[in-house]
Structure formats: C-alpha cells, structure tokens
Amino acid sequence: MTAAFPARFPLAALPTPLEPLPRLSERLGTEIWVKRDDLTGLALGGNKTRKLELLVADARAQGARTLVTVGAAQSNHCRQTAAAAARAGMECILVLAGSSPASVNGNILLDTLLGAELVWSREGDRMAVFEETLARAEHQGRRPYRIPYGGSSPLGAAAYAQALAEFLQHGVAADRLVLASSSGGTQAGLVAGAHLYGYRGRITGISVDQPADALRETVAELASRTAALLGEPVAIHPGEIDVDDGFLGEGYGVLNDLERVAIRTFAAEEGLLLDPVYTGRAAAGMLARIREGRIARDERVVFWHTGGTPALFAYAASLLEQ
C-alpha cells in the first residue's frame, strides 16, 4: 500500500474473535469458522462499526457536528451511527423508511435510547427525504455530515480492506469467506483487501435484496474506488465478484423457512445468534450450498458474522411461525 491508511476514530473492540463451529462442521462435513463482527462492541455491534470509525474521523476533521444517515426502519447501520454520534459528542439524525410503528422495538428502541432524532419518510421516497433533511440541517447551522446508505462510500468500505488484513493475522487459511451483502461496502472492502494483501480464497456475497448483476456492478465499482483510495489503483471487474442471489425469497426482511431453520440451527447447535434480515439469509444460503455441493466438502469456510441481532426482537412473530 502506498497511501497512508485513513484516520480512525476508535469505536470498535478489535480484533474481533475468529471461532470454530465444531458441532455444525461435524454434522455438515465441511469445516466452518465464524468471524465475530457481531462483537465489534459498539451498542450491540455489527459491521457498520468498522466503517463508522473512518467516517466519524472524516466528519470530525471537516468540523461537522451532526451525523445524518438513512436506512430501513430496523436498520442496524442507523443504530450504530446513533451510537457513534453519542461516542463522538455529535448529534444524529436518522431518516427511516416508512412510518413510526405502533410498538417501538429492536433497533428503533435503541435509536431512541441513543438520543438520535428520527425522521420517518412516510409515503415519500426515503432518499428524497434524506436530501431534504440534510439541506434543512445545513440551513439550521447544524453542520451535517452525510453518511451514505449502509455507510458504503469508498472511505467506509476501506475499513473492510483493513478487516481482511486483520483476518489474515488469525493465520487460519480459509478457502472461502461467506457474508451477507446488501449496499455492497463490506464485500467491496474485503475484495479490495484481498487485492492489497494477496488473499486468494473466494469471497461469496449472499445477496439480501438485489439481483446478482446489479450487486456485482456495485461491489466491483466500490472495490476499485476503495483500492484507489488506499493508494493501489486496480481495476476490479464485475465478473470477478462472487454474488449469489438465489435466496432473495419474497424480498428484503421477509423471513422464509430456510432462514428460520438456519437461525434455529446456529442457535441450538452452537449457541450463536444470527439476525433475521442479513446473517439469517446468508447462513441459509451457505447451508443450502453445502447441501447441494456448491460449497465443496473439503473447503474451509469462514462465515463473516456482520451483526444485526437486535432486530431479532422486532421479528419475534415471524421467527416463531412454523
């Protein structure tokens, strides 16, 4: 790497643990480990904490006073942004899709406790409401800093290039990393890190909400820009991005049996909690691919746990459906 690594505002407890899953591995006949980014330590953790270390450092360097971001109602990214703002002594405005629910639970409860101001997009387009909210905060002299959807700018994604280096330090040679991929920043950062640090295994993103072609394009472009930001300009093409969109079911945040089974399996066999929207879907995809032989028996696989467990409580009813 030729460029200095971007400045960090410390928020995460790093390195996160890498743990074997012996019971599940034995039953499936494929060796599985888990990288515990659900344990990053900021207000119940998750993958956005690493990105926020770089984004908050940039916000402070620019003299911003208010973090503004956007997401789904049960956004883990928004909850971690609210916590990061509290830790940095900043204000936080979250633009959330839809309307304020009758019962406040999961991440929405935590957003409120963490002191964030919630703006519901209601019938409006959430990105349009995000722009209006930024403009209003600017006009009011609140010095807003824009954090994109999922924290997935090249700067945010750079945190996952560094996470790949952290992973290599564990010294566990993995043939494949499997993760939930949505706004693409996590996968893009890992892919950029693989180029930077010479990791040759596969990096399989299980799409949570997008068709494979669209997500491959997003990840490739973001990975190229992230590598350039880190001083290593490489052209990363969509064809080299491994994305599986076979588990979209009825769309974002709608649970089906595959996810319910995956969540119960990890919980009951390994004492490990997944989340209903992201890691539940990614684990369901990984288990199905192992069953179908699309992940080979002799591979050593690392499931990258990206967090999201606070949303379990908001999805209690659909988790308990038979």
Ligand X SMILES: *Cc1c(COP(=O)(O)O)cnc(C)c1O
CB-nearer residue toward ligand X: 106 or 307: 307
**Only segment of 56-64, 95-103, 178-186, 232-240 that touches ligand X (CB under 6 A):** 178-186
**What distances in angstroms separate CA 77 from CA 5, 85, 183, one per listed residue?**
23, 12, 11
278 touches ligand X by CB under 6 A? yes
Q: Which residues are catalytic?
A: 75
182 touches ligand X by CB under 6 A? yes
What residues numbered 194-253 form the site for ligand X, per CB under 6 A? none
Residue length, the chain?
322
**Only segment of 3-11, 16-24, 58-66, 303-311 that touches ligand X (CB under 6 A):** 303-311
What is d(CA 130, CA 95) in angstroms, rounded to the nearest whole number? 6
At its nearest, how many Å lie between ligand X and the CB of residue 309?
8
At its nearest, how many Å lie between ligand X and the CB of residue 155?
13
306 touches ligand X by CB under 6 A? yes
What is d(CA 309, CA 318) in angstroms, rounded to the nearest whole number? 15
At its nearest, how many Å lie between ligand X and the CB of residue 190?
10
What residues numbered 136-155 form the site for ligand X, per CB under 6 A? 150, 152
HEC states along the chain?
A: CCCCCCCCCCCCCCCCCEEECHHHHHHHCCEEEEEEHHHCCCCCCCCHHHHHHHHHHHHHHCCCCEEEEEECCCCHHHHHHHHHHHHHCCEEEEEECCCCCCCCCHHHHHHHHCCCEEEECCCCCHHHHHHHHHHHHHHCCCCEEECCHHHCCHHHHHHHHHHHHHHHHCCCCCCEEEEEECCCHHHHHHHHHHHHHCCCCEEEEEECCCCHHHHHHHHHHHHHHHHHHCCCCCCCCHHHCEEECCCCCCCCCCCCHHHHHHHHHHHHHHCCCCCCCCHHHHHHHHHHHHHCCCCCCCCEEEEEECCCCCHHHHCHHHHHCC
47 touches ligand X by CB under 6 A? yes
Give the residue, chosen from 193, 253, 307, 310, that forms a contact with ligand X under the rule CB under 6 A.
Answer: 307
At its nearest, how many Å lie between ligand X and the CB of residue 48?
6
What character string, x for contact with ligand X (CB under 6 A) and - otherwise, covers 77-116? x---------------------------------------
Give the residue, chosen from 69, 260, 275, 312, that forms a contact with ligand X under the rule CB under 6 A.
Answer: 275
Give the residue, chosen from 31, 42, 44, 46, that forms a contact with ligand X under the rule CB under 6 A.
Answer: 46
**Only segment of 242-250, 288-296, 300-308, 313-321 that touches ligand X (CB under 6 A):** 300-308
**Only segment of 123-131, 170-178, 230-238, 271-279 that touches ligand X (CB under 6 A):** 271-279
At its nearest, how many Å lie between ligand X and the CB of residue 185?
4
The residues that touch ligand X, with contacts defined as CB under 6 A, are 46-47, 76-77, 150, 152, 180-187, 275, 278-279, 306-308
